[in-house]
Structure 1
Amino acid sequence: MRKLLEVVGCIALLQGVPGLLHEFTHWHVGLVQRLGILDGYEVYASVTLVVVAFALFAAAESRKSG
């Protein structure tokens, strides 16, 4: 379960950070800006992904390793 939380957290972080990068530098990276349902809310979605990633990392760290 710990590894699963870490993997999902890593995926969330790897999608949230490029989404923020796209909003502030207009580089075309990440999937957040490509989802039509999030038009106008890309920054909020990216910040939410980063926060969820850190929450998942904290949850994984609180789990026993064996």
Structure 2
Amino acid sequence: MKQVLEILGFLALVQGVAGLVTEFAGWNWGLVRRLGFLDGYEVYASVALFAAAGSRKSV
């Protein structure tokens, strides 16, 4: 279970960074960009993913 959470945390970190890079560098990659219900809120969603990945506690 710990490994699954570590993997999910890593994926959240990668997607958060990908969303921020997409917005500010003009690259077109990452999951956040492709989700229709986040249209207009990509930066906020990317920051939230980045923060969620960084705030998890090590066990």
Q: TM-score, structure 1 length as denominator?
A: 0.82
Question: Paired residues, what number?
Answer: 59
- Secondary structure of the residue aligned to 1:13 is helix
Q: Please, what is the CA RMSD of the aligned residues? A: 1.0
Report the CA distance between 1:4 and its aligned residue: 2.2
Q: Deviations over 1:16-64 (max 9, x none)?
A: 10100000011001010111100000000000000000122xx2x1x1x
Identity %: 54
State the 4+ residue runs in structure 1 displaced beyond 6 angstroms: none
The separation in 1 between residues aligned to 2:18 and 2:33, in whole angstroms, is 10
The answer for unaligned runs of 5 or more in structure 1 is: none
Which of structures 1 and 2 has the bigger CA Rg?
A: 1
Matched, 1:5 2:2: no
